[in-house]
Amino acid sequence: MAAETLGQEKSLRVLAHVEDNDGMEIEIEKHGQRPELKLDEHGLPLVPQPTDHKADPLNWPKWYKYYVLFLLCLLAFCVQFGAGMVPAAFGVIAKDFGVTHQQASYLTTSYTLFGGITPLLLTPYVNMYGRRPAYLIFTLIAIGANVGSGYASTYAREIVSRCFVGIGASVALAIGGATICDMFFQGERGKYMGFYALAVTNGPHFGPIAGGYIALNLGWRWIFFINAIIFGVVLAIFLVSFPETLFSRTDFSKLENQTYWHKMAFRGKVLDRKLSLSDFSANFKMLQYVAITIPCIYYMTTNTYGSIVFVLTASSITERLYDFNTAQNGLLLGIPLTLGCLIGESCTGWISDQLINRYARRHDGYRKPEARLYLCFLGLFLPAGLIIHGLCVNNETPWIGLAVGMTVASIGVQAGTTLTYAYCTDCYKPQAAEVSTIINLFRQIFAFTIGFYALPFGEGVSFGAAWGTFASINFITWLGLLLLIWKGEKIRKAQGEPNLHKDL
């Protein structure tokens, strides 16, 4: 009898943890009883708990989830790939428009700024009308804006076109994390967030390789035309095969007996709610939560100082030190940065899933988000790589020294990216769209500023000192992750849960 009572108490504790993380109280209140707890293959509770409806993305077959994830990663990669093509041609663009190399870099910073701001207005709509319409409409905008960039006859028109490209490209970076949360459970989310993060991080690394050769052989304007063609192909694939992943857990009636093409058609509101002005402030409401602000501050320095700073300054540095052409610039950027990210991801996403599931087995099925952060030590590769790169530029070593520095730094970039997305969405899954938007905002706005000061700072005080300063800033923000490991759970409980989207 005592053993049976103990088992019942353990089950209740497990269910309570699921309610805390997933808002299951909605179903309890609706049906007047606790729903049957659904478990994974290890006997641990699934978080979030899926409904019994076959249209629930959590219930989709694995192969179909993988296909949708592949399309999402493809779009995110193409967005970043297209952005990464442009810096390799800064030199020739500057000559054609009669501007400085610094001014040519504003083609990327303007793109980045609008890519960060736009999702703030978009999020309320994707939480009501779904993810699919946003992906289609904004990809179409990116196509038109890239064509405009290719035909721009003045520097001012080029800047305006790049702003619109940023608007069109923003959706894949802003709600990609939310789309993954729509389909995958908490205990497996780290691995799939890792794939998405790998696409987001490595797009700018492959871009310079292609951009350099295109600018050298076809002319820099073809960078934008080829981008438009790539987005056109992706849009066609999305149009016929990318499903809606937003799912209402309170109203299944409209989902019965739908044909494949009916599912692909625009069907109005996915969630039956009214849009209000307060919905547009929901993104900023998430900033009050320490479990969001600390990782976002860390991530913005990680992405900017471990990736963007290399992309924006490589052309100027390598042309001066090694007399590299655009194709060689692209190779020196793309190969080391990609290699480092692959190494970093091989040590992060899936291992963080193992850590959080191991914690759950020892704590009655409760997956503590902070368990993922034990891998944060990988982030220390970033400041180390920055220092190596800066010292090599100072001492004018052979180009291999710069390549080693970028490779080491990229290990930290990839680890930091995956952990940020996985941890933040673990903490606040129903608000995943807002969380992803805030992550994107921090990344884009901070990256926007680097174009104005990285080169002048490095040339003014030496690249060793400048890069050392960036490394110090990144290390200071990394210390915040240690605070979350130590007190993160207590802080989250003290702050409570956001009263947003309990029906997701």
Beta bridge partners of 39: 45
CATH number reported for the structural domain that contains residue 480 in this entry: 1.20.1250.20
Q: Which residues of 355-366 are buried (b: 16+ CB within 10 A; e: fewer)?
A: bbbebbeeebbb
- 12-16, 22-26, 176-180: least confidently modelled range: 22-26
Residue 480 CB-half CA count within 13 A: 20
Using 50, 70 and 90 to split pLDDT, how confident is the model at 492?
very high
Q: Is the residue at 234 inside a domain?
A: yes
Number of folded domains in the chain? Answer: 1
Name every residue whose Cβ is closer than 8 Å to that of residue 265 and which is 6 or more positions away in sequence. Answer: none
Q: Quick check: 16 pLDDT over 60?
A: no
- Decide if pLDDT at 24 tops 80: no
Kindly state whether residue 168 falls inside one of the protein's structural domains.
yes
- Using the predicted structure, report yes or no on whether residue 86 has a pLDDT greater than 70: yes
* Nearest of 200, 171, 177 to residue 189 by alpha carbon: 177
Is the model's pLDDT at 150 over the cut of 50?
Answer: yes
9 inside domain:
no
Q: How many CB atoms lie within 10 A of CB 153?
A: 8
Do the domain assignments include residue 30? no
Give me the helix-helix angle, 463-495 and 290-303, nearest 10°. Answer: 160
Average pLDDT, stretch 399-428?
A: 95
Q: Is residue 141 part of a domain?
A: yes
Lowest mean pLDDT among 193-197, 282-286, 297-301, 388-392: 282-286
pLDDT at 4 (0 to 100): 41
Averaged confidence pLDDT in the chain: 86
Looking at the domain assignment, is residue 478 inside a domain?
A: yes
Domain that holds residue 109: 61-246+262-267+277-495
Which among 135, 143, 445, 197 has a CA at the least distance from the CA of 304?
445
CA 110/CA 316 separation, integer angstroms? 19
**DSSP track, 324-383:** --HHHHHHHHHHHHHHHHHHHHHTTHHHHHHHHHHHHHHTTT---GGGGGGGGGGGGHHH
Place of tokens 């293959």: 41
- pLDDT per residue over 314-334, tens digit each? 878 888 888 888 778 778 888
Does residue 44 fall inside a structural domain?
no
Instruction: Calculate mean pLDDT across residues 77-86.
Output: 91
pLDDT value for 260? 67
Q: What angle do the packed helices 106-126 and 155-174 form, to 10 degrees?
A: 40
pLDDT at position 120, please? 87
Comparing 254 with 10, which gets the higher pLDDT? Answer: 254
**202 domain residue, yes or no:** yes
Q: Does residue 119 contact residue 134 with C-beta atoms inside 8 Å?
A: no
pLDDT at 501 (0 to 100)? 65
CB 110 within 8 A of CB 162: yes
Count of residues making up the chain: 504
In the prediction, which pLDDT does 34 show? 57
Closest CA to 117 of 189, 54, 69, 166: 166
pLDDT of residue 251: 61
Q: Choose the most confident range, by mean pLDDT, from 124-138, 326-340, 369-383.
A: 369-383
- The 10s digit of each residue's pLDDT in 253-278 is 455 556 666 667 777 777 777 777 77
Q: Does residue 187 surpass a pLDDT of 80?
A: yes
CA dihedral of residues 329, 330, 336, 339 (deg, nearest 10): -170
